[in-house]
């Protein structure tokens, strides 16, 4: 079955066909409410890719999705379904906020590694409990991680409303981070090279960290002993145990890496964009990460590409909402169609294509 198709078809052709189908259906939806689908697509493309301002937003969203997508992908290599990216990223935000607010940071270059470490630690700690329950008690990771999302929301809500909110402020959010923690945006980074990047866009240095994280995850999963053990455990638990791999260790390691990656997302949205911790800082990126990982076939490069696509959908959707009368709900429908086709309906595209390739091969033989 694995060799039914060449690798390029598996990695490129199937997602591409799924996308075309999703956009075709979206066009019908837009037609049905009396708007012009061609104009809508043009607005999405120019709004998400047409200027450095647009790219700045697309890359900002993509950075979030790279981290949460990698988080799901790493856990999935061990066949653990980490639905808790949302809560882990929330706690990561708490780690970033505590570190940024507790010390008078003189320069972002010092604050960034410390905040990243805090984000990763808090995210990993939040993943550790469900991981331990799964490894030693067999409590299903899907149930426990999703429950932990709610606990994370409640914890954050309690802290923001009762402890960290400045008195008299209406917003359940922390105070603004001091200026020593403000991360350079892509505008600041590209200015020395004579590239004029939009000042208003929120994309920042965290995008480079996200790319580094992709490389690092690839190295860990495919070039280290731990990564080999994680993949072996994912392929077959009895075989892995027979080979002397300890399941508790693998489950814990995979989930801690996963939680740390999800937590790292907070460096982008909390430290890089909002520069304070707000209640719904994550706003669904943890769940989008699942779709990103599915679409990216749990491979870092695939995750990177899928995250870019979702960044495009988010920013393009925002432009649609700003300048057309397409209601917000229908923009979500368009985004959902893409997720449905690329994630859930994978086999619908895969099976006919596989049959096609088999027929072609038989014809040649």
Partner 1 sequence: MTLFHKALGATAALALCAGAALAEPALIYDLGGKFDKSFNEAAFNGAERWKAETGGSYREIELQSEAQRQQALRRFAEAGLNPIVMAGFAFGSVLEEVAADYPDTTFQIIDTRVDAPNVRAIEYSEHEGSYLVGMMAAMASKSGTVGFVGGMDIPLIRKFACGYAQGVKAVNPDATVIQNMTGTTPAAWADPVKGGELARAQIAQGADVIYAAAGSTGVGVLQTAADQGILSIGVDSNQNHLHPGQVLTSMIKRVDLAVYEAFTAGADLETGYFVLGLAEDGVGYALDEHNKDLVSAEMIAAVEEAKARIVSGDLAVHDYMTDNACPVK
Residue closer to partner 1 (CB basis): 100 or 173: 173
Residue closer to partner 1 (CB basis): 3 or 162: 162
Query: Under the rule (CB under 8 A), what is the footprint of partner 1?
Result: 57, 60-61, 150, 153-154, 157-158, 161-162, 165, 167-173, 176, 200, 202, 269, 273-274, 276, 278-281, 283, 314, 317-318, 321-322, 327-328, 331-332
Residue closer to partner 1 (CB basis): 165 or 246: 165
The structure tokens 């259906």 sit at 25
Query: Smallest distance from the beta carbon of 40 to partner 1, in angstroms?
Result: 16
The structure tokens 């008299």 sit at 168
Residue closer to partner 1 (CB basis): 5 or 331: 331
Query: Smallest distance from the beta carbon of 237 to partner 1, in angstroms?
Result: 35
Measured CA to CA, the distance from residue 305 to residue 146 in angstroms comes to 26
Query: Smallest distance from the beta carbon of 266 to partner 1, in angstroms?
Result: 13
Residue closer to partner 1 (CB basis): 89 or 240: 89
Return the percent helix, strand and coil in the chain, to nearest 5: 80, 0, 20
Residue closer to partner 1 (CB basis): 71 or 270: 270
> Residue 91 CB: number of other CB atoms within 10 A?
28
DSSP 105-162: -S-HHHHHHHHHHHHHHHHHHHHHHHHHIIIII---HHHHHHHHHHHHHHHHHHIIII
Q: How many helices (H) and strands (E) are present in the chain, helices listed first? A: 16, 0
> Residue 307 CB: number of other CB atoms within 10 A?
30
DSSP 43-66: HHHHHHHSSHHHHHHHHHHHHHHH
Query: Smallest distance from the beta carbon of 27 to partner 1, in angstroms?
Result: 21
Query: Smallest distance from the beta carbon of 322 to partner 1, in angstroms?
Result: 6
Query: Smallest distance from the beta carbon of 167 to partner 1, in angstroms?
Result: 6
Angle at 250 between CA 245 and CA 252, to 5 degrees: 150
């Amino acid at each position: 079955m694995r060799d039914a198709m060449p690798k390029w078809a598996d990695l490129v052709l199937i997602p591409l066909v799924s996308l075309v189908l999703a956009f075709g259906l979206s066009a019908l939806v837009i037609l049905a409410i009396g708007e012009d689908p061609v104009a809508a697509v043009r607005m999405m493309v120019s709004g998400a890719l047409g200027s450095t301002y647009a790219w700045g937003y697309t890359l900002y969203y993509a950075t979030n999705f790279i981290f949460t997508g990698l988080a799901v992908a790493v856990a999935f290599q061990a066949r653990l379904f980490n639905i808790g990216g949302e809560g882990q990223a929330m706690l990561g935000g708490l780690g970033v906020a505590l570190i940024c607010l507790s010390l008078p940071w003189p320069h972002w270059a010092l604050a960034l590694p410390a905040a990243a470490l805090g984000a990763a630690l808090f995210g990993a700690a939040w993943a550790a409990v469900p991981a331990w329950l799964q490894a030693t008690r067999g409590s299903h990771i899907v149930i426990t991680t999703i429950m932990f999302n709610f606990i994370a929301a409640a914890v954050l809500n309690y802290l923001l409303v009762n402890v960290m909110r400045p008195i008299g402020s209406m917003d359940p959010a922390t105070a603004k981070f001091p200026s020593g923690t403000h991360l350079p945006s892509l505008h600041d980074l590209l200015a020395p090279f004579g590239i004029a990047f939009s000042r208003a866009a929120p994309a920042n240095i965290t995008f480079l960290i996200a790319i580094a994280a992709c490389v690092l995850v690839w190295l860990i999963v495919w070039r280290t002993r731990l990564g080999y053990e994680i993949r072996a455990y994912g392929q077959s638990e009895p075989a892995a145990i027979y080979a002397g791999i300890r399941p508790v260790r693998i489950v814990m390691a995979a989930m801690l890496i996963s939680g740390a990656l999800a937590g790292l997302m907070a460096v982008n949205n909390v430290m890089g964009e909002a520069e304070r911790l707000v209640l719904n800082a994550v706003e669904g990126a943890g769940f989008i990460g699942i779709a990103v990982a599915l679409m990216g076939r749990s491979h870092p490069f695939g995750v990177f590409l899928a995250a870019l696509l979702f960044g495009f959908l988010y920013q393009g959707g925002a432009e649609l909402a700003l300048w057309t009368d397409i209601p917000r709900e229908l923009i979500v429908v368009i985004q959902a169609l893409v997720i449905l086709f690329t994630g859930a309906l994978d086999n619908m595209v895969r099976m006919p294509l596989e049959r096609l390739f088999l027929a072609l091969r038989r014809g040649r033989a």
